Chains A and B, each alone.
Chain A
Amino acid sequence: MRLSIHHRTAYRFTAPQARLVQMLRLTPQNSHDQTVARWRIDVDCDALLREGRDGWGNAVTMLYAEGPLDGIEIAITGEVLTSHSDGVLHGVHETLPPPVFLRATPATAPDPAIAAWAAEMASGVPMLTALHRINAGVHARFAPDAGRPDPELTAGKAWLRESATARDAAQIFAVAARSIGAPARYVSGYRCLAREARATPHGWAEAHVDGLGWVGFDPDTGLSPEEEHVRVAVALDAVGAAPVAGSRLGEGDERLDVEVRVSEA
């Protein structure tokens, strides 16, 4: 598929900011099943951008802007060619061995209820089957929630709800997979779905299966990601892979507006 992506992130501040430093994880990388044909980051103010890479292997862009700033708008436009892979990753640049992804974070802390459920799903079946069952099981358990995710919500607390955002479902998947011994991580990126009412940056999960490698799981659909998914960044949880990590120098609050359009080019 040839996917065209427009992603606009706008921050409005209630008081002018003297300085902004942001780390952007907004650049997809090439792999066997994903080729970045065109990609650019535009900022609506005078800002310095520096390319780099973080410890997880993600491409990062540091953004430095001097104030006074009432707001900042970051616009991404790009085109990515994807191919069908059955969810198995090929040719992705990995910087860390899979066992690192058995670690917990505050948002993905081990949870007895999730672990007990995952153990049931995994009972008597091979690891890959167990992970597919967990993926389908998380999908079936929750009604979709298209609202904005609550960054404070842990997987353990999200498990007790009736609906889940894609982010929460992916973090629940990661906690479940780790509890049965499969390294798992959060993936941030984009997805092109016709049915999607309000497009947002998407999040799903990946788990490592011995002998097969990293495999994608999107508990929001209950299926493995296919050519409609564009991988951008990975980390242990959603905060770690967030498209924008920022620090500003100034008083007041901020309002965030995000607009995403993903379509077949």
Chain B
Amino acid sequence: MGQDAFDEIMGTTGGPPPRAELAALGRWLSVTSDTELRRRQQSAEAAFRQLGITFAVYGDSDASERIIPFDIVPRVFLHDEWARLSEGLVQRVEAINAFLDDIYGERRILSEGVLPADLILSNPQFRPEIAGIRPPHGVWAHICGIDLVRTGPDDFFVLEDNARTPSGVSYMLENREAMLRLCPELFREFRVAAVDSYPDRLLEVMKSVAPHGVGAPTCVVLTPGHYNSAYYEHSFLADSMGIELVEAVDLVVDDDIVWMRTIAGRVKVDVIYRRVDDDFLDPLVFRPDSMLGVPGLIAAYAAGNVAIINAPGNGIADDKAIYSYMPDIVRFYSGGEAKLPNVETWRCREPEALKYVLDHLDEVVVKLVDGSGGYGMLVGPTASKAEIAAFRAALVAEPHRYIAQPTLALSTVPTMAERGLAPRHVDFRPFVLTGSKGVQVVPGGLTRVALREGSLVVNSSQGGGTKDSFVLMDDAAPMTQTIGGMTQSMGGGA
């Protein structure tokens, strides 16, 4: 696979040549010794370990907390590339918001026959408990992480949408900070858009969706607690936005209003960025055994007295069974074709698709429609005979639970491997914010890299790492922005 894939910096032998704009990065790689690159990489990882940016690996009892490996070679998006991507992302996220508003309201997309009704109505991610509730300002997916893959210079595809509580933004910010500190020469060479405004942008979005009539809204981050694998990110975001990090026990609902207990008494809460799943939001409405929830929260939300970010019920928009219909969903709500295409997808619930998938199990990638994190996934070309046999049995037994996609030749970026720089496959998660004033794309994101040679699985739970993602600015943009961003970022941490 690795030989045929498009390398974003070096180009491809017999394929697209290296991009001229990135020649300087190629030169930087050739003049900086591997020893020096490794030294910097270790320094970055030491800092991450010290900060406690760790994650828990499911099914690995030996190392319950690890840092996600960081790779020192950045991934770069050219200015015009980014402009095109942004247009596609805005269109997609607008459609996701319109879809959620419709599906929990009028359900026009079902009555007009664009989607099969049972696909939604029987889907556990469609939550009847909140049907008919409209979130403040009609915004549902305030923070979206849209996972993209690339197969050529102009070939980007959406791999999956994350409209619940996408994580990873702390890596975008910490990776940038590490790069500014360890490779300042790159920021002199390239005009890199700053990402350190993310917390301010997020806070602005949160305030913009506060219930009507609230002058200076109180915003909080709700975490399941410090045992959660993403706790670092929860505390990091609360800290960098300058708002309270709370757990369910810190919140009470009284008279359909949410209050936060503080040493100075109760403070009314207007906007909650929750990092807990729907099931654990309110034991009176969702799981009655939930100790993490806030009893009465959904009543306060239904009464329009609090905004919940992202809105409960959003899982129906990023379900993998819905994913294959996203081009239809985008067309239905935007009136135009999707600017960012999907990866071709076989819905195993359809008999013909199932037959094709069963006949090509050694070529395709099979995914559980409700799985995530790279669990419950088969990568045909690298799977063992036993794994293929197990998936074959599972597919025959419960075909509706699976989709399949072709194995894509994901683009590569030079990455520090055991024997020096080598191409490794990458994907990309940009973060898209939606407030009452519209949709914005943060100029950066999280690049995940599959560290094993030839591997296409980039999930951190499956041996993936991360890279900084540079978005190059228009030459006309004022240079001070980058420098300002650098200074600010460098002052903030390490």
Q: Is A103 an interface residue (CB 8 A)?
A: yes
Contacting A at CB under 8 A, from B99-141, are 107, 110, 117-118, 121-122, 124, 126-133
Whether A52 pairs with B303 at a CB distance below 8 angstroms is yes
Contacting B at CB under 8 A, from A188-246, are 236, 239, 245-246
Contacting B at CB under 8 A, from A95-110, are 95-97, 99-100, 102-103
Provide the bound-state CA to CA distance between A42 and B127, in Å.
32
Q: Is A247 an interface residue (CB 8 A)?
A: yes
- Size class of the A contact interface (CB-based, 8 Å): 20 to 34
Whether B129 pairs with A54 at a CB distance below 8 angstroms is yes
B254, closest chain A residue (CB): A64
Question: Chain A contacts of B302 at CB under 8 A?
Answer: 52-54
Contact of A56 among B117, B118, B128 (CB under 8 A): B128
Whether B122 pairs with A54 at a CB distance below 8 angstroms is no
Contacting B at CB under 8 A, from A38-80, are 48, 50, 52-57, 60, 62, 64, 66
Provide the bound-state CA to CA distance between A53 and B128, in Å.
12
Q: Is B252 an interface residue (CB 8 A)?
A: yes
Question: Chain B contacts of A22 at CB under 8 A?
Answer: 284
Whether A100 pairs with B288 at a CB distance below 8 angstroms is no
Provide the bound-state CA to CA distance between A48 and B302, in Å.
17
Q: Is B296 an interface residue (CB 8 A)?
A: yes
Provide the bound-state CA to CA distance between A54 and B127, in Å.
12
Q: Is A21 an interface residue (CB 8 A)?
A: yes
Q: Is B338 an interface residue (CB 8 A)?
A: no
Whether B296 pairs with A62 at a CB distance below 8 angstroms is yes
Contact of B299 among A62, A96, A97 (CB under 8 A): A62
Whether B254 pairs with A99 at a CB distance below 8 angstroms is no
Whether A21 pairs with B117 at a CB distance below 8 angstroms is no
Whether B133 pairs with A55 at a CB distance below 8 angstroms is yes
Whether B255 pairs with A50 at a CB distance below 8 angstroms is yes
B255, closest chain A residue (CB): A48
Q: Is B353 an interface residue (CB 8 A)?
A: no
Whether A21 pairs with B295 at a CB distance below 8 angstroms is yes
Whether B296 pairs with A21 at a CB distance below 8 angstroms is yes
With A54-B285, A99-B122, A102-B122 already in contact, the answer to whether A64 and B253 are too (CB < 8 A) is yes
With A52-B303, A102-B122, A245-B284 already in contact, the answer to whether A97 and B107 are too (CB < 8 A) is yes
Q: Is A19 an interface residue (CB 8 A)?
A: yes
With A21-B284, A55-B130, A95-B132 already in contact, the answer to whether A247 and B121 are too (CB < 8 A) is no
Whether A55 pairs with B288 at a CB distance below 8 angstroms is no
Whether A103 pairs with B122 at a CB distance below 8 angstroms is yes
Question: Chain B contacts of A57 at CB under 8 A?
Answer: 132
A48, closest chain B residue (CB): B255
Provide the bound-state CA to CA distance between A169 and B194, in Å.
63
Whether B299 pairs with A100 at a CB distance below 8 angstroms is no
Q: Is A23 an interface residue (CB 8 A)?
A: yes
With A50-B299, A50-B303 already in contact, the answer to whether A100 and B283 are too (CB < 8 A) is no
Contact with A along B275-317 (1 / 0, CB 8 A): 0000000011100100000011001001100000000000000
Provide the bound-state CA to CA distance between A52 and B284, in Å.
14
Question: Chain A contacts of B129 at CB under 8 A?
Answer: 54-56
Whether B127 pairs with A55 at a CB distance below 8 angstroms is yes
Contact of A97 among B117, B133, B254, B295 (CB under 8 A): B117
Given contacts A62-B296, A99-B117, A102-B122, 5 further A-B contacts (CB under 8 A): A23-B284, A23-B299, A52-B299, A54-B129, A102-B121
Name 24 A/B residue pairs within 8 A (Cβ), A-sorted.
A22-B284, A23-B299, A48-B255, A50-B255, A52-B256, A52-B303, A53-B302, A54-B302, A55-B127, A55-B133, A56-B129, A62-B256, A62-B299, A96-B121, A96-B131, A97-B121, A99-B117, A99-B121, A100-B126, A103-B122, A103-B124, A239-B288, A247-B284, A247-B295
- List chain B positions with a Cβ less than 8 A from chain A: 107, 110, 117-118, 121-122, 124, 126-133, 252-256, 283-285, 288, 295-296, 299, 302-303
Nearest first, the 10 closest Cβ-Cβ pairs linking A and B are: A247-B295, A55-B131, A21-B295, A99-B121, A55-B129, A23-B284, A48-B255, A62-B299, A21-B296, A50-B256
